[in-house]
A and B are shown apart, each in its own frame.
Chain A
Amino acid sequence: MTRLMLEQGRVDDFIRHLQAQRPVYAPRRKGQSSYVFAPVDDPNDVVLDYPRTLHSVKKYFLPPREELLNFNLKANSYGQPEIETANAIMLGVHSYDMHAVLRLDYNLAKGNKERNYFARRQGTLFIGVSFSPDKFHFSGSLGISPYDTTGFDLFLYKVDKGFALEIITAMGEKLLSGFDLPALGVPLPPHGEFQQHIYVPQSKLSEVFDHSQENAVWEEEAARCVSCGTCNMVCPTCYCFDVEDEVDVRVVEGTRNRRWDACMLRDFTEVAGGEVFRHKSAARQRHRVYRKFKYISDHTGEPWCVGCGRCTAYCTANISIVSIVNRLVNDYEKDSTARLPQTQPIIDRAREGHSDPAGEAKDLYSPVMAEIKSVQQMTDLEKLFEIQLPDGAELNHKPGQFVELSLFGAGEAPISISSSPAKKGVFDLGIRKVGRLTEMMHRLQPGDRVGIRGPFGNGFDLEKLKGKDVLIIAGGIGLVPLRSLINTVIADREAYGRLIICYGSKSDQELLFGNERKMWDEDPSIEFHVTVDRGSPDWTGKIGVITTLIPELALDLERTIACICGPPIMYRFVLLALKSKRFPEENIYLSLERRMKCGVGKCGHCQINNSYVCQDGPVYHYPAIKGLKEAL
């Protein structure tokens, strides 16, 4: 290991040497007692001995605010801003922040590799610097020492009279060429001691978290938390974002922008209609901490908190993530009689590896412009649109999948594909008017163009349904996605057993798909049951909530598969009704709704525990989510 001596007096020269090659970013002072990474102009401004920066270097790869698209409303067209590869040198990065970058690499590559992030991050060189742990750092407990050189090209160890410089990669060596330094004659001094610790080996954490969903600490900390979101905003491994369209005052041009978002905020999971899926502050605190120590860690074998201490240092309520974790550890050990499912200790798990530099980064957020072929008013609130992709392309979806529908100026919304894949040339979207985008969509006419991304999500697994009796339970607008499945079964009728449809709606005026309902009703191969909560005077059918249909059904429990979709409140009651019929749980599939922004597993809004509804759902096998908090 070659270590060279960089005397304090030569640091400025060293920085100038770097600047001659590439732009250099390094920490500098901000305000009274803070530090930030900033482009280096004068080497004198650089501070290499600092506790932590407000934001990590993440801000250069995943900027706090970023324009995804720019559009023109008149032409109904869009372009993308050019993304510049930073090609820079990040000087003076602490080891935990480097580890955080590697974790972001993983998240932004997993499933769909995001172009924007990787375009910026590519080719960045990192020069680390050791740090002296202060009262907030605890990266040591997570296996990240102040001397950890993982990910760096060069590393600076603070020593007496300057820095010991270590060359880590060939790129690092190249950076140094032409800048001669003497070899370091003495061994490295030990690094500073950590003052904060998690009192359990990393390998135990996964197990502790298996037992901590119900811990009282979540409520206790929630009582002190103001849900300000700061702990997310400063975290180097947080990457959730929100997207919003903005339009100029002439109402001609606009941009689609994203900004960092925070799962500690109440509105993070709020959907049109006011439902908030993690309403309690305690549930949000739990989600944040589980994301750092359990959900992603179970996939990768590594904690997703790097111990930078920012969330604690910047929380005005003094809520400490280390105290929370230690409390969980303590309570778990006290409660050692607890017999819960055994999980493997995380340290033994295979690492999936961090980034996937070989994989091709994709432009994930650009829609294709499709044409509305027809519009049909179904009810006061719902319209059915037929959409055609350019050049007659097929969507190639599965029943249960959705698209992100995009209208410039209004934004995007996840909308289920309502037609079966058997319908060629166009596909159907049934849309309820509830908010910005859906309102605007309702004003469009045949010939107008809309943006489409997708199809996304898993959809129903038809192989599991073939040869079985299919029981459809649809509440309200839940019929829209299930119609795709129903028509798939009808198009290949022999492949399935009975087709039983239970459909409930608030009132008869709100019943959807009038023509098709008539066909289903008249088709002898379909058992079709409808009920409404309130009927108008001329309604002759059943009155009552959807669960009243279930007891009367004569089902072959062994060979019936139930597929359920409806408003959040409906699931609990339908599941109870099925349970009282002794309907086997493993034969139940549910399609869930969540707030969604990206559809591609990046923005974090749709997450239920460690599952992304936009990727792993929206269709779930009931046994897989039954025990999950927040799922149903």
Chain B
Amino acid sequence: MSAKTAQFITIRLSRASRRRSKMSKKARVAIFDFTGCEGCELNHLNFEAQLLDILEHVEIVEWREAMDEKADGYDIAFVEGSLSTPDCITRIHKIRRKAKFLVAVGACAVIGGVNAMKNTRPSEEIREEVYGKDKYLFPSLPALPLSAVVKVDFNVRGCPMTQIEFLKVFTALVMGKMPVEPDHSVCVECKLKENECVYDKGMICLGPVTRAGCDAHCPSFGQYCYGCRGLVSEPNLKAMEEILVNHGLSMDEAHKRLLLFNANQIEGVTS
């Protein structure tokens, strides 16, 4: 994360103030939901174990069920889903105005995503199904990432994002620290775990140009990375396509494979 984007949050919970922990010092948090597959919905994550710890640091002032934005303002707004209707655009502007720090949660919010992913970790069949249907590659309504419309302060990536990662981001924000957003390939994490590369099994994988952070989730289960976390900065897409072509895809297939999650980034909608 470069300093340009490192716009810092004002939730001040310094160590000293936390020790004196008063209710009013708690960070005010709101959670909103736009068009998405519900895979990332925060209430679907199993937070019970951590909920008490979380509530010690924050006060949840608005929850996605409350669809109108009532609270006066929030320290952090977590926003799920992509924007696909004019109404969405109005709402996100309103949220942005009230939020000191806005976090896009999940691939749909971060990169527009594939608005068809299921709640579970996509299995091989679901992915084959998805890849087979062009309508998912090019949804009729353009699904915009939040950053195409408002300034986003941080991204929690992934489709779906993981609980571990969300908590990491959350903890960082509570500390008043910009969370770390990796800007290197999934291959790095894959190699740290000493996985056998799926290319060695005759599969293809987008790990080399996909942003790490999921701990190479899919390759660790013997599946390929389909790029759900978005691309690294300045990816060499030509080289990536060449790799895909050398491993058996046509140029057209290779391009589509890259567009699956990253159409918005590749077409220059997000950075």
Could you list which residues of chain A lie within 8 angstroms of chain B, going by C-beta atoms? 30-34, 36, 54-55, 59, 64-65, 73-74, 76, 223-230, 233-234, 244, 246-251, 259-260, 262, 265-267, 270, 272-274, 281, 314, 316-318, 409-410, 434-436, 439-440, 443-445, 448
Contact yes or no, B15 A65, CB < 8 A: no
A73 surroundings in chain B (CB, below 8 A): 15
Q: What is the bound-complex CA distance between A448 and B19, given in angstroms? A: 14
B176 surroundings in chain A (CB, below 8 A): 439-440, 443
Kindly report which residue of chain A lies nearest to residue B17, judged by CB atoms: A443
Which one, B125-133, B149-157, B189-197, B262-270, is touching chain A? B189-197
Contact yes or no, B170 A249, CB < 8 A: yes
Contact yes or no, A226 B177, CB < 8 A: no
Chain A proximity mask over B3-46: 1 for CB below 8 Å, otherwise 0:
11010100011111011000000000000000000000000000
Contact yes or no, B185 A435, CB < 8 A: no
Contact yes or no, A65 B192, CB < 8 A: yes
Q: Looking at the assembled complex, report how far the CB atom of A65 sits from the nearest CB atom of chain B, in whole angstroms.
A: 6
Contact of A248 (CB < 8 Å), options: B4, B6, B171, B177: B171
Contact yes or no, B15 A74, CB < 8 A: yes
Q: What is the bound-complex CA distance between A435 and B7, given in angstroms? A: 9
Q: Looking at the assembled complex, report how far the CB atom of B192 sits from the nearest CB atom of chain A, in whole angstroms.
A: 4
Kindly report which residue of chain A lies nearest to residue B184, judged by CB atoms: A265
Q: Looking at the assembled complex, report how far the CB atom of A136 sits from the nearest CB atom of chain B, in whole angstroms.
A: 13
A267 surroundings in chain B (CB, below 8 A): 183-184, 233
CB of B113 within 8 Å of the partner chain: no
Given A30-B194, A244-B180, output 9 extra A-B contacts at Cβ < 8 Å. A31-B222, A33-B196, A65-B192, A223-B238, A227-B232, A260-B191, A262-B188, A274-B4, A318-B246
Q: What is the bound-complex CA distance between A226 and B196, given in angstroms? A: 19
Q: What is the bound-complex CA distance between A74 and B56, given in angstroms? A: 15
Q: What is the bound-complex CA distance between A354 and B209, given in angstroms? A: 37
Interface residues in B44-77 (C-beta closer than 8 Å to A): 50, 53-54, 56-57
CB of B116 within 8 Å of the partner chain: no
A233-B188 in contact given A54-B196, A250-B56, A274-B3 (Cβ < 8 Å): yes
Contact yes or no, A74 B168, CB < 8 A: no
Contact yes or no, A226 B168, CB < 8 A: no
A272-B3 in contact given A30-B196, A229-B188 (Cβ < 8 Å): yes
Q: What is the bound-complex CA distance between A434 and B177, given in angstroms? A: 11
A226-B194 in contact given A73-B15, A266-B183, A434-B6 (Cβ < 8 Å): no
Q: Looking at the assembled complex, report how far the CB atom of A515 sits from the nearest CB atom of chain B, in whole angstroms.
A: 28
B167 surroundings in chain A (CB, below 8 A): 249
Closest 3 CB pairs of A and B: A31-B196, A233-B191, A274-B2
Contact of A224 (CB < 8 Å), options: B56, B187, B239, B247: B239
Q: Which of B18, B197, B199, B247 is most buried by chain A, counting CB atoms within 10 A of its CB?
A: B197
Contact yes or no, B171 A224, CB < 8 A: no
B1 surroundings in chain A (CB, below 8 A): 435
A229 surroundings in chain B (CB, below 8 A): 184-185, 187-188, 191
Contact yes or no, A228 B208, CB < 8 A: yes
A262 surroundings in chain B (CB, below 8 A): 184, 188
Contact yes or no, B236 A226, CB < 8 A: yes
CB of B143 within 8 Å of the partner chain: no
Contact of A33 (CB < 8 Å), options: B8, B53, B200, B246: B200
Interface residues in B178-221 (C-beta closer than 8 Å to A): 178, 180, 183-185, 187-188, 191-197, 199-201, 205, 207-209
Contact yes or no, A64 B236, CB < 8 A: no
A251 surroundings in chain B (CB, below 8 A): 13, 18, 57, 171, 174-175
Q: What is the bound-complex CA distance between A522 and B251, given in angstroms? A: 71
Kindly report which residue of chain A lies nearest to residue B170, judged by CB atoms: A249
Q: What is the bound-complex CA distance between A434 and B197, given in angstroms? A: 38
Contact of B232 (CB < 8 Å), options: A76, A266, A314, A434: A266
Q: Looking at the assembled complex, report how far the CB atom of B226 sits from the nearest CB atom of chain A, in whole angstroms.
A: 15
B87 surroundings in chain A (CB, below 8 A): none
Contact yes or no, B233 A266, CB < 8 A: yes
Contact of B168 (CB < 8 Å), options: A246, A318, A439, A444: A246
Contact yes or no, A443 B12, CB < 8 A: yes
Contact yes or no, A249 B54, CB < 8 A: yes
Contact yes or no, B178 A435, CB < 8 A: yes
Q: What is the bound-complex CA distance between A338 and B64, given in angstroms? A: 70
Kindly report which residue of chain B lies nearest to residue A244, judged by CB atoms: B180
Contact yes or no, B240 A250, CB < 8 A: no
Kindly report which residue of chain A lies nearest to residue B242, judged by CB atoms: A224
A436 surroundings in chain B (CB, below 8 A): 177-178, 180
Contact yes or no, A228 B207, CB < 8 A: yes
Q: What is the bound-complex CA distance between A223 and B236, given in angstroms? A: 8
Q: Which of A226, A248, A443, A444 is most buried by chain B, counting CB atoms within 10 A of its CB?
A: A226
Q: What is the bound-complex CA distance between A259 and B188, given in angstroms? A: 10
Contact of A409 (CB < 8 Å), options: B12, B177, B232: B177
CB of B243 within 8 Å of the partner chain: yes
Q: What is the bound-complex CA distance between A32 and B197, given in angstroms? A: 10
Kindly report which residue of chain B lies nearest to residue A275, judged by CB atoms: B2
Q: Looking at the assembled complex, report how far the CB atom of B158 sits from the nearest CB atom of chain A, in whole angstroms.
A: 18
B174 surroundings in chain A (CB, below 8 A): 251
Q: Looking at the assembled complex, report how far the CB atom of B201 sits from the nearest CB atom of chain A, in whole angstroms.
A: 5
- What are 20 A-B pairs with beta-carbon distances under 8 A? A30-B196, A31-B195, A32-B201, A34-B196, A223-B239, A226-B208, A226-B239, A226-B240, A228-B207, A233-B187, A247-B172, A251-B13, A251-B57, A265-B188, A267-B183, A272-B2, A281-B236, A316-B247, A318-B246, A439-B8
